[in-house]
Amino acid sequence: MPKLRVATVWFSGCSGCHMSFLDLDERLLEFAERAELVFSPIVDLKEFPENVDVVLIEGAVGNTEHLKMLLEIRKKSKILVAFGDCAVTGNVPSLRNPLPREEVLQAVYGTDDPPGLEEGEVPKFLPQALPLHAVVPVDYFLPGCPPSADRIWTFLRPVLLGQKPVLSGPDLKFG
């Protein structure tokens, strides 16, 4: 049986969801038997590949690079998972949403026009940090800040076995 092609992606998030993924510990051995990690912050590949079976995306859509990449990822992936509360709701990155972009820049950099923040130098802030489903269809929502390793495995193991994952009860809690 061919291995499942799995990707993980890091948008506007703190990497806590990826840390939780690494907390799968010995379960990573079973993961490695059944899946190939074809793209991830922990894999040094620059281009998102074609024909991805499952992609877990951490973080909100916060800038123009995320937006462009998310549209590309959706086209290239069969199952797209909002991985953690920032991806599911906007969570922490969306705390800036009530404020104008200039006010956020002023508070962080002391100027609303800091050098090096123009499009082409770094990706431009979107006016709001968005949850994934505000941009593309999402197949599964995996809440938690971060989702615990047990919760990730409850979701991921059936997927690796070609079954439909079902999250219920405490596994649907935010925070």
**Pick from 9, 54, 138, 145: which binds ligand SF4 (CB under 6 A)?**
145
Determine the size of the site formed for ligand SF4 (CB under 6 A): 13
CA 120 to each of CA 102, 110, 124: distance values in angstroms, whole numbers, following the listed order: 18, 22, 8
Quick one: which segment of 40-48, 80-88, 127-135, 155-163 binds ligand SF4 (CB under 6 A)? 80-88
C-beta closer to ligand SF4: residue 5 or 151: 151
Pairing of strands 77-83, 52-58: parallel
* H/E element, 37: strand 35-39
**Pick from 14, 37, 69, 135: which binds ligand SF4 (CB under 6 A)?**
14
Q: Which residue has the tokens 């079976």?
A: 53
**Pick from 38, 56, 67, 85: which binds ligand SF4 (CB under 6 A)?**
85
Give one word for 144, left, alpha or beta, with left for phi > 0 and alpha for psi -120 to 50.
Answer: left
Which stretches of the chain bind ligand SF4, using CB under 6 A?
Answer: 13-14, 16-17, 58-59, 84-86, 91-92, 145-146
